[in-house]
Amino acid sequence: MGQTHQRDERIDLLRFIGLAMVILAHVYPPMWVAQLRNFDVPLMVLVSALSFSASVKQESYGQYVWARVKRLVFPVWLFLTLYFAVQWAFAYPHVLPDADKILRSYTMIDGIGYVWVIRVFLLVALLAPFIYRFHQRTPENSQYFRVLVLWYLAYEVAVNMILPEISGISRTILRNTLFDAVPFALLFALGLRIPAMTKSEQLRFFTLFSAVFVLLAGWFFWQQGSFQRTQSFKYPPQHYYLAYALMCAFLLWLLAEPVLRGLRSSRLIGFVLFAGSNSIWIYLWHIFFLQIIELSWGPKYLLVFACSAVVTWLQVSLIQRFWLPKVVNPATKRNIKALLTG
């Protein structure tokens, strides 16, 4: 397997949109806004598949896992250490939580919240090489998608028949591993096929997921007399939530090129591409600014996003301009970039 260095701006655009929608969720917007933006995490997983396809290289599984841990886990641990150190020293923005909450934050189970998304990305990353191998060895789309559908049906059966029968620590472990890993791994597998699809094939997938979403929305409306939010089917991810998310994701992919052209003409492209390529640190910094900015949801959203992006820009700029040029060892340079940028 070779390695591709050319960056696809469509990937950064979709990653930017996913990041923007995740942050929007955390300022608690009105219900209709919260529903419209409720495609963020599946979109980010699909983007990770697109990115994976564009950057595959020859390395052992152990090397790959270590690289993913450095890219995903260590930045979270570093941020949490700084965050808790500030709380310990100044009781700001909140008093330091108890040891159990701190531990659950570092393990990305829940804790202070927000970091569970990184756990999802890590679970998918651990499975990604095996999914990619299946993708390479199964050229026929009919066979490939048939396997994905069978896996998904088995997962839905488990969610509805097995998960309710499990309780205690077993439920917590399975809920935070298997029942997150399977649906998002299947989204990743779907994402691997998107670059090779024709526009008409992508449009068919958009139409399919739109039809499933509309049918399910209509069914729930008939049953309950009101629109059912897809959020109700997010933990763990199920058909209604996933259909809406995939409908939005395919629409955004189809519109990516014209959107990019518009951004280039408005000179916003630089900010979008920067945020898309440094999404993890913007995401981490937004956790801090969420705690200290007290405004209504709209101004708070804009200010949290802006402050997080500015701090990340300062961080990345200082590292690239003043630290990395002084580092001689290539491996050390790679580790610094993996930990403090991206």
pLDDT in tens, 152-166: 999 999 999 999 999
Domain count, the chain: 1
What does residue 263 show for φ and ψ, rounded to 5 degrees?
-65, -40
Q: Residue 213: which domain range?
A: 9-340
Does a structural domain hold residue 246? yes
Q: Write the DSSP string, 310-341.
A: HHHHHHHHHIIIIIGGG---HHHHHHHHHHH-
Pair 101, 111: CB distance under 8 Å: yes
| pLDDT tens sequence across 185-214 | 999 999 999 999 999 999 999 999 999 999
Report the pLDDT value the prediction gives residue 267, as an integer from 0 to 100.
Answer: 83
Note whether residue 226 is domain-resident: yes
Q: How far apart are the first and last CA of the chain?
A: 24
Is 4 contained in some domain?
no
For residue 1, tell me if it sits in a domain: no
CA-closest candidate to residue 339, choices 104, 54, 57, 66: 66
- Confidence category of residue 6, pLDDT binned at 50, 70, 90: low
In a domain, 176, yes or no: yes
> DSSP code of 165?
G
Digit-coded pLDDT (tens) for 290-339: 999 999 999 999 999 999 999 999 999 999 999 999 998 999 999 999 99
Query: 0.85 cut: is pTM over it?
Result: yes
Q: Is residue 162 part of a domain?
A: yes
